[in-house]
């Protein structure tokens, strides 16, 4: 992304703030794994969306003036000893080039700066990126900041910045679409590599190794999210990540994988028989999913209630399963369809956007995900593609990744 992308994002956020309001965003800190071993650092995605900076212990402060806004970024100071062990820290000139922010200070200055802003600007409210999602277990920098403000400045109102950011992230800009298109190409390379090397007796971790190796040839050193790659009975665990199973002759290989490129992440699912030939029952179910997918890409366009998309997938796939003699009534569809069929992608694989009450609009990107799980037949898989809503219809961003039975069998045989 160019620096203008992040500058525009901050400007858009500031336009939603009230004059005299302050916003504070934190990149996050290292999490301890055990003893002196830390987990790899993963920057807060909203912080990255606003700055492009992925270094730990970084802080962005925005202040809304009567006209326009001011901004300041705080980063870790140079430290020769620490950098010898952990690598070079980003310097102010590079941080400015990435983010478009010219006013940059060091982390040890930021609390003094914050106190001065609150005092001199008579700040009455502070916006924080508070993730109050159900089931969230992590204590975040925003949680700490909320506690800090409440204890030190009890008269200041705390506002949640997350709803604004979820609205901004809903519509993708052209540069984001370009990043997704590149990520789709690399995703294809990884999936095709697994298809080409597939054989009975292969372990799931060997499929994963083929996928990871293919990505590395493009400089992508880790997948966009924890890859789901399973065989046979393991396909019935929706978020499976053990990779210890072995493919028996005739087993379906399910994969749900993605690539992150320039912060944007794909989410694509394909399924194939490990021996390269679909059985009659596998073909029957796969064609149901494929026809449903094709139907959805033929009708999706601006103006459809986003909440109806999953229902449309479910109802059309039911008709396919009924015609195939699999499903007798719509009351039975839950036996074969275990999860939703549409979620947004972007800076997160399940992108944090405000879409539930929205109509589909040009620039939205979400998955069309048809999962069929027939436990009695031992066949479970999903066909998942990435849908971009355009001005008058939609486009399948992952259409070039082999998805018909004929395309897949041609690669494998």
Cβ within 8 Å of residue 320, ≥6 positions away: 287, 288, 289, 291, 292
CB 24 within 8 A of CB 127: yes
- Taking phi over 0 as left and psi of -120 to 50 as alpha, with beta for the rest, 135 belongs to left
pLDDT value at residue 114: 95
pLDDT value at residue 133: 64
Same domain, 317 and 193: yes
Examine the pLDDT at 139 and tell me if it is beyond 90: no
pTM of the model: 0.96
Same domain, 110 and 250: no
Select from 115, 141, 168 the last residue of a domain: 168
CB 165 within 8 A of CB 46: yes
Question: Exposed/middle/buried for 298, CB within 10 Å: 0-12, 13-18, 19+?
Answer: exposed
Strands (DSSP E) contained in 258-347 are 260-261, 264-265, 268-273
3 state SS of 398: coil
Q: How far apart are CA 154 and CA 177, in angstroms?
A: 43
Examine the pLDDT at 300 and tell me if it is beyond 70: yes
> How long is the chain?
413
Same domain, 144 and 178: no
CB 391 within 8 A of CB 181: no
Same domain, 187 and 334: yes
pLDDT band at 136 (very low <50, low <70, confident <90, very high): low
Q: What is the CATH number of the domain that holds 381?
A: 3.90.230.10
Q: Please give the structure tokens belonging to residue 289.
A: 């999913």
β-bridge pairing 252-257 and 32-34: unpaired
Q: How far apart are CA 162 and CA 83, in angstroms?
A: 33
Same domain, 298 and 154: no
Structural domain of 26: 3-168
Residue 240: name the closest of 207, 192, 285 by CA: 207
pLDDT band at 141 (very low <50, low <70, confident <90, very high): confident
Beta bridge partners of 389: 394
Select from 153, 168, 183 the last residue of a domain: 168
C-alpha dihedral sign at 358, 257, 141, 134: positive
Same domain, 213 and 123: no
In the predicted model, what is the mean pLDDT of residues 308-335? 96
pLDDT value at residue 135: 63
Percent of the chain with pLDDT over 90: 96
pLDDT value at residue 134: 59
Same domain, 143 and 189: no
In the predicted model, what is the mean pLDDT of residues 20-27? 97
Same domain, 279 and 406: yes
Select from 168, 192, 225 the last residue of a domain: 168
Percent of the chain with pLDDT over 70: 98
3 state SS of 332: helix
What angle is formed at CA 23 by the lines to CA 21 and CA 24, rounded to 5 degrees? Answer: 150
Q: What average pLDDT does the chain have?
A: 96
pLDDT band at 43 (very low <50, low <70, confident <90, very high): very high
Same domain, 181 and 98: no
Q: What is the CATH number of the domain that holds 151?
A: 3.40.350.10
pLDDT value at residue 137: 62
pLDDT value at residue 140: 77
Q: How far apart are CA 96 and CA 110, in angstroms?
A: 17
H or E element that contains 160: strand 157-160
Place of tokens 């394909």: 270
Same domain, 137 and 241: no
Q: How far apart are CA 64 and CA 77, in angstroms?
A: 27
Q: How far apart are CA 95 and CA 75, in angstroms?
A: 8
In the predicted model, what is the mean pLDDT of residues 378-385? 98
- How many beta carbons lie within 10 A of that of residue 411, not counting itself? 15
pLDDT value at residue 386: 98
Residue 295: φ, ψ to 5°: -60, -45
Total domain count, the chain: 2
Same domain, 159 and 185: no
Long-range own/partner contacts, residues 191-195 (CB < 8 A, 24 or more apart): 191/255, 191/257, 191/268, 191/270, 191/401, 191/402, 192/401, 192/402, 192/411, 194/229, 194/253, 194/255, 195/270, 195/272, 195/402, 195/408, 195/411, 195/412
CB 247 within 8 A of CB 186: no
Same domain, 351 and 394: yes
Q: How far apart are CA 274 and CA 158, in angstroms?
A: 54
């Amino acid at each position: 992304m160019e620096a203008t992308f992040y500058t525009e994002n901050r400007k858009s956020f500031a336009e939603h703030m009230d004059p005299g309001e302050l916003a504070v965003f934190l990149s996050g800190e290292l999490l301890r794994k055990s003893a002196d071993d830390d987990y790899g650092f993963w920057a807060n995605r909203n912080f990255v969306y606003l700055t492009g900076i992925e270094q730990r212990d970084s802080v962005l402060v925005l202040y809304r003036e009567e006209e326009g806004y001011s901004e300041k970024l705080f980063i870790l100071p140079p430290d020769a000893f620490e950098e010898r062990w952990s690598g070079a820290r980003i310097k102010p000139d590079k941080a400015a080039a990435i983010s478009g922010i010219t006013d940059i200070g060091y982390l040890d200055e930021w609390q003094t700066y914050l106190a001065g802003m609150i005092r001199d600007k008579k700040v009455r409210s502070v916006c924080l990126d508070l993730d109050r999602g159900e089931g969230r277990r992590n204590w975040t920098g925003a949680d700490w900041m909320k506690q800090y403000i409440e204890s030190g400045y009890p008269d200041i109102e705390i506002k949640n910045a997350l709803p604004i950011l979820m609205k901004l992230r809903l519509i993708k800009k052209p540069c984001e679409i370009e990043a997704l298109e590149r990520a789709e190409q690399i995703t294809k390379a990884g999936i095709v590599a697994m298809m080409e090397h597939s054989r009975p007796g292969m372990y799931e971790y060997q499929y994963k190794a083929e996928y990871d190796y293919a990505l590395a040839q493009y400089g992508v050193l880790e997948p966009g999210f924890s890859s789901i790659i399973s065989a046979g009975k393991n396909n019935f665990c929706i978020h499976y990540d053990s990779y210890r199973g072995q493919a028996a002759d005739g087993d379906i290989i399910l994969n749900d994988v993605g690539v992150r490129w320039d912060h944007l992440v794909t989410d694509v699912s394909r399924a194939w028989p490990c021996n390269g030939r679909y059985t009659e029952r596998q073909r029957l179910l796969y064609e149901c999913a494929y026809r449903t997918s094709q139907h959805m890409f033929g009708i999706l366009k601006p103006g459809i209630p986003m909440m109806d998309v999953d229902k449309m997938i479910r109802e059309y796939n039911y008709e396919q399963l009924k015609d195939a003699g699999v499903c007798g009534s719509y009351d039975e569809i839950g036996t074969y369809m275990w999860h939703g069929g549409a979620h947004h992608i972007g800076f997160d694989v399940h992108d944090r956007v405000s879409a539930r009450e929205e109509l589909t609009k040009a620039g939205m990107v979400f998955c069309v995900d048809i999962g069929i799980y027939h436990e009695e037949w031992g066949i479970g898989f999903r066909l998942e593609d990435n849908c971009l809503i355009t001005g008058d219809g939609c486009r399948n961003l992952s259409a070039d990744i082999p998805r018909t039975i004929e395309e897949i069998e041609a690669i494998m045989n």
